Chains A and B, each alone.
Chain A
């Protein structure tokens, strides 16, 4: 038995690659997972001067605070609606226009009853965000042909691991540092708070700040009330 006539180079490639339809299906599954969900936030500047931002000054310090509870803002910054995941993000900017250094003593968000909301580390917030992302990634693995679901699911998990590390890195980069505020310098970043289950809006929440002048040792406090912004949870 000889080789059939008129089988050219391209057909030879097809023969070699396509000995099994399963191989083809697996390759399709692999190709599909390359189109999977990716973490793509689009916020380019950490300036809290948008809608619902608040500004206050305390001696030489200027403080800007902006809620990121609304869906469009949260999606821009973190590619997810964080309030749906129980996280309340605030973008904060400190600007030290004086000549003295300041220590951050206390940065907290209190409710109308004086209770403090739990401050989450960027890592804790990222872990909660990853759960939402994992659901999306697993969802993708189910759209491939049934025979390749195990392969696609495995690839999805690998993809999710890669994206999770991006999420952690991004949350840590965007998180507010706790170092002293040097004279003439500014620092901006996100603070993440645990959202109360029954909270429907930001009304009654107060951003409470205590800083200490390192030269005079004077304690400066300031309180910034938040506007009545609804929190949308699907």
Chain B
């Protein structure tokens, strides 16, 4: 019996390989369990046995390490906050007690899911079309299948991105003596911001025994935000469009 090379078989095998490779395509280096380790902060201060440190994740290498995307370029400012209680009383800290302002204007806090959608998930949306085009001459026949498959894959990756942003988010915490808590607070940047100047961050943990807040204020050094490639090629438009 004559056996012939079957192009569809080849294509299916290629797609299967793409699926298996694609499903593991979001694997950032920084995991939640690594956050408890001490890092080199951008700013630090201590009062009454409470030490607060802040680290910017605007720098592309750091941002890629944590989110596999330069999220600041898409309007998300991630700040890693660490609070260490070396005193004898308990302190409470909710994310709402971390505030940031840029040039005197308060920046709204983004919940992890919104930060993920705005900062990283958008970058994966092009994949659906990209995969379809990758089927080359089979484009017209296989477009429904590849587009569906790509959409499913993209949704799966987006879920992973949301999970990463969520697990790294600073938890509301009761910080007991000799304990520490670390996590990201995500702020929304004004549209078309490519330089962070006069960025101030305030952290106000509350003494759980007498309800008195401790006030920490940080002035972060100026930081440049990389302009995304798609915005370099055309005139800059409003980021929210």
Contact = CB atoms under 8 A, between A and B. Distances in A.
Given A1-B2, A40-B163, A47-B173, A140 B152 contact: yes
Nearest to A64: B174
A15 B174 CA distance: 62
| Interface residues on chain A, size class | 35 or more
Contact of A45 (B144, B163, B172): B172
Contacts of B16: 24, 27-28, 31
A44 to B, nearest CB: 5
Interface residues of B, number: 47
Contacts of A13: 13
Interface stretch (A3-11, A165-173, A204-212): A3-11
A162 interface: no
B159 interface: yes
Nearest to A6: B5
B167 interface: yes
A50 B174 contact: no
Interface in A26-41: 27-28, 31-32, 34-38, 40
Contacts of A222: none
A40 B152 CA distance: 17
Interface in B133-163: 144-145, 148-149, 151-153, 155-156, 159, 162-163
A31 B19 CA distance: 6
Interface of A: 1, 3-4, 7, 11, 13-15, 17-19, 21, 23-25, 27-28, 31-32, 34-38, 40, 42-45, 47-51, 53, 64, 66, 72, 75-76, 93, 140, 143-145
8 contacts: A28-B19, A31-B19, A35-B23, A40-B159, A42-B112, A42-B162, A49-B93, A76-B111
